[in-house]
Structure 1
Amino acid sequence: MPTNKRSFPVAMMFLLGVSLPGAIGLSTTESPRLDSGVLSGSYQRIYESEFTQNMPLRNWAGATYRALTFALFNEAGPEIVIGDSDWLFTIEEFGNPAEEVAFASLVTAVRNELDSHGITLIPVVLPDKTRIYADRLPRPRSVAIETRYADVLNTLRALGFQAADLSDALAIEQAGGDTFMRTDTHWSPLGARLAAEAIADEAGIAGTGFVQFETTYDTETTFNGDLLPFVETGLWSDWVGVDRETLSRPVTVTNSSDSDLFGDQEIGIALVGTSFSARSEFNFAGYLQEATGLDLINLAVEGRGPFAPMQEALENGAINQIAPRFVIWEIPERYIHTRNLP
Structure 2
Amino acid sequence: MTEFAQDTVKPNADNPSAPAVLHWLPAAFLLGVVAVGAVLTVLTPTVRQWPQGKDVVTGEAMLTYEKENLDARVPWRDASVNLWGGLNARLFGEARDGALIGKEGWLFTSEEYQTSADDAAEIQAKLAYIGQVRDELKKDGAQLVVALIPSKARVYADQTNAKVPAQTEGLYQSFRADLQKAGIPAPDLLTAFEDARSKDDQFKDLFFRTDTHWTPTGAQVAAQAIAPVVAELGLDLPGAEYAAQTQMEVSRAGDLTRYVPGDDRTDQVSPVTYERTDEGGGGLFGDEGIAVTLVGTSYSAETKDNVWHFDGALATALGTEVLNMAREGKGPIVPMRDYLTSEERKDNPAQVVVWEIPERFLSIHYR
Does residue 23 of structure 1 match 2:35?
yes
**Cα distance between partner residues in 1 of 2:254 and 2:316:** 26
How far does the alpha carbon of each residue in 1:128-163 deviate from its partner, in whole angstroms, 9 at most, with x for none? Answer: 000000011101121111111111111101101231
Q: SS where residue 275 of structure 1 aligns?
A: coil
Q: CA 1:28 to 1:135, structure 2 compared with 1: closer, same or farther past 3 Å? A: closer
Identity %: 31
How much does 1:261 deviate?
Answer: 5.4
Query: Where does residue 290 of structure 1 map in the other structure?
Result: 316
Q: CA 1:136 to 1:52, structure 2 compared with 1: closer, same or farther past 3 Å? A: same
- Larger mean CA deviation between 194-203 and 99-108 belongs to 99-108
Does residue 320 of structure 1 match 2:343?
no
**Cα distance between partner residues in 1 of 2:165 and 2:364:** 11
Query: Where does residue 34 of structure 1 map in the other structure?
Result: none
**Cα distance between partner residues in 2 of 1:289 and 1:55:** 51
How much does 1:123 deviate?
Answer: 1.3
Number of aligned residue pairs: 308
Does the aligned pair in 1 maintain the 2:154–2:164 contact within 8 Å? Answer: no
Match of 2:77 among 47, 53, 58: 58
Q: CA 1:305 to 1:338, structure 2 compared with 1: closer, same or farther past 3 Å? A: closer
Consecutive unaligned residues of structure 1, counting only runs of 5 or more, are 3-8, 31-44, 234-240
Query: Where does residue 154 of structure 2 map in the other structure?
Result: 131
Match of 1:73 among 92, 95, 98: 92
**Cα distance between partner residues in 2 of 1:84 and 1:27:** 39
Does residue 86 of structure 1 match 2:111?
no
Does residue 266 of structure 1 match 2:284?
no
Query: Where does residue 103 of structure 1 map in the other structure?
Result: 126
Query: Where does residue 255 of structure 1 map in the other structure?
Result: 277
Give matches, 1:219-258, under 5 Å.
219-233=248-262, 241-256=263-278, 258=279
Q: CA 1:16 to 1:56, structure 2 compared with 1: closer, same or farther past 3 Å? A: farther
**Cα distance between partner residues in 1 of 2:229 and 2:25:** 56
How much does 1:29 deviate?
Answer: 7.8
Q: SS where residue 70 of structure 1 aligns?
A: helix
Query: Where does residue 184 of structure 1 map in the other structure?
Result: 211
**Cα distance between partner residues in 2 of 1:115 and 1:232:** 48
Does the aligned pair in 2 maintain the 1:196–1:291 contact within 8 Å? Answer: yes
Match of 2:334 among 308, 313, 317: 308
How much does 1:284 deviate?
Answer: 0.7
Q: SS where residue 22 of structure 1 aligns?
A: helix
Q: SS where residue 255 of structure 2 aligns?
A: coil
TM-score for the superposition, normalised by structure 1: 0.80
**Cα distance between partner residues in 1 of 2:281 and 2:230:** 29
How far does the alpha carbon of each residue in 1:15-70 deviate from its partner, in whole angstroms, 9 at most, with x for none? Answer: 9875544213345889xxxxxxxxxxxxxx99xx7996797611111111111111
Query: Where does residue 231 of structure 2 map in the other structure?
Result: 204
How much does 1:203 deviate?
Answer: 2.8
Query: Where does residue 173 of structure 1 map in the other structure?
Result: 198
Does the aligned pair in 2 maintain the 1:96–1:334 contact within 8 Å? Answer: no
Query: Where does residue 7 of structure 2 map in the other structure?
Result: none
Match of 2:187 among 164, 171, 185: 164
**Cα distance between partner residues in 1 of 2:294 and 2:162:** 35
How much does 1:303 deviate?
Answer: 0.2
Q: CA 1:142 to 1:338, structure 2 compared with 1: closer, same or farther past 3 Å? A: farther
Give matches, 1:8-19, under 5 Å.
19=31
